[in-house]
DNA sequence: CACCAATTGAGACTTTATCTCAGGAGTGGT
DNA sequence: ACCACTCCTGAGATAAAGTCTCAATTGGTG
């Protein structure tokens, strides 16, 4: 889904140099299966400084390579693919996250913004539920 | 909007005793204008222990007296009135928050959950923009 | 009023994140 | 290929937010 050949250009991010540490972080992020927290990334890349990991994540988010997902009170989690507008369907049991590509709430959002006299910036929709695996698997082990 | 006469029953929350400190926290929360963070509440109630403030906030949220609002990477903020399902329209400039009472996205949410085979738990929609005051006031001071 | 269990709160601890600044490493010019 | 110049890195200090512990306190009951 993500254009991994664009890696080279992405390495520059908002910076003027394509450095080694950043290469490691970006490659790890791009290869990551599922979502991750900043601390998880730090832990799996002990050879890269925590500050660099956080800086790179911030840039990747700004560039739209990854998007940040807030689940309840937990630390933010990151996912590949933030460029195009989308939403998330989160499994509250196993933590699986599905991208919802089509935004079906634009009209409603427009209406609300107009009603309150707001100049629209954006919106965020997250749907919570239990995925078919978790629903289907329940009771099987008891 | 919130039934403040229900305060007495709310004081019990999930606990078995209506204590003094909890009374202070609940009364402060109910009287609070706008939204607040846990730390702000702690700071304005130095006579109540931090642990008690956090415990009471958690109970109030569970009981639906307040709802938690996550704005970007900042600490969660709390608002009165979480009982009935609703959403928020947040001003990215001044931080004002409007409640959106009617949920216009139920159909879309149902459709998506069905498409992914999820058993629906709930959803969260937040709309970001700049309120009429912030839009209107801009340039006035420059 | 006394008793006892529920609750409190000071402060230690954890987790997550940001900041600082000396040293290291890309990059362009030669 | 090398140098120099500047940007970037990273160890560790600091900050922010929240949880946990346990002795002391207190509300509710008989």
**B15 inside domain:** yes
Residues in chain A closer than 8 A to B85 (CB atoms) = none
Name B5's Cβ contacts closer than 8 Å, sequence gap at least 6: none
Q: Is residue B131 part of a domain?
A: yes
Residue A14 belongs to a domain with what CATH number? 1.10.10.10
For residues B121 and A112, give the distance between their C-alpha atoms in angstroms, rounded to a whole number.
Answer: 24
A135, containing H or E segment = helix A132-137
Q: How far is A113 from chain B (nearest CA, A)?
A: 8
- Determine the distance in angstroms separating the CA of B96 from the nearest CA of chain A, rounded to an integer: 11
Give the whole-number percent of chain A exceeding pLDDT 90. Answer: 59
What total of structural domains would you count in chain A?
A: 2
A41 and A79 together in one domain = yes
Q: Which of the pair, B136 or B16, is modelled with greater confidence?
A: B136
| Residues A65 and A114 both lie in one domain | no
- pLDDT, tens digit, for every residue of B50-81? 999 999 999 999 888 999 988 877 889 999 98
Q: What is the pLDDT of residue B142?
A: 43
Shared domain check, A128 and A95:
yes
- H or E, element range at B87: strand B87-91
Q: Are residues B71 and B114 in the same domain?
A: no
Co-location of B116 and B127 in the same domain: yes
Q: Are residues A106 and A72 in the same domain?
A: no
Q: Of A66, A84, A102, at which residue does a domain stop?
A: A84
Do A78 and A99 belong to one domain? no
In order of A118, B86, B103, the CA distances from B106 in angstroms are 22, 11, 6
In a domain, B44, yes or no: yes
Q: Residue A94 contacts by C-beta under 8 Å, 6 or more apart in sequence?
A: A131, A133, A134
Residues of A in contact with B70 (CB under 8 A): 70
pLDDT at B3 over 60: no
CB B52 within 8 A of CB B61: no
Q: Is B45 exposed, middle or buried (0-12, 13-18, 19+ CB in 10 A)?
A: middle
* Residues in CB range of A100: below 8 A, 6 or more apart: A86, A87, A88, A89, A125, A127, B112
- Cβ separation A124–B125 shorter than 8 A: yes
The neighbour count for residue A137, using CB atoms within 10 Å, is: 13
Same domain, residue pair A133 and A96: yes
User: pLDDT by residue (tens digit) across B19-32?
Assistant: 999 999 999 999 99
Distance CA A99, CA A108 (A): 20
* Strand ranges inside chain A, DSSP E: 36-37, 66-69, 77-80, 87-91, 97-100, 119-130
Q: Which residues of A touch B105 (CB under 8 A)?
A: 104-105, 108, 125
The CATH number of whichever domain residue B89 belongs to comes to 3.30.1490.190
Q: In this structure, are A90 and A79 located in the same domain?
A: no
Residue numbers of the domain that contains B74: 1-84
Residue where a domain terminates, one of A50, A67, A84: A84
Cβ of B72 < 7 Å from strand C? no
Query: Has residue A96 got a pLDDT over 90?
Result: no
Are both B67 and B18 inside the same structural domain? yes
**For an interface test with B, which of A73, A118, A120, A133 has the most B Cβ atoms less than 10 Å from its Cβ?**
A118
Nucleotides of D under 7 A from a protein CB: 7-13, 16-21, 26-28
Instruction: Answer for A19: CB within 7 Å of strand C.
Output: yes
Clarify whether residues B3 and B53 are in a common domain: yes
Do residue B118 and residue A131 have CB atoms under 8 angstroms apart?
yes
- Is the domain of A80 the same as that of A107? no
Q: B61 lies in a domain?
A: yes
């Amino acid at each position: 889904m993500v254009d991994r050949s664009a890696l080279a250009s992405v390495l520059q991010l908002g910076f003027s140099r394509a450095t080694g540490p950043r290469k490691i972080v970006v490659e790890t992020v791009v290869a990551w299966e599922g979502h991750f927290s900043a601390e998880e990334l730090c832990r799996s890349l002990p050879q890269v400084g925590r500050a660099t990991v956080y800086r790179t994540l911030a840039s990747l988010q700004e560039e739209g390579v990854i998007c940040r997902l807030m689940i309840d009170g937990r630390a933010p989690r990151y996912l590949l693919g933030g460029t195009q507008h989308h939403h998330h369907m989160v499994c509250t049991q196993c933590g699986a996250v599905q991208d919802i590509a089509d935004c079906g709430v634009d009209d409603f959002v427009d209406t609300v913004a107009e009603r309150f006299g707001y100049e629209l910036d954006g919106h965020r929709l997250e749907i919570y539920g239990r995925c078919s695996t978790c629903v289907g698997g329940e009771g099987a082990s008891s």
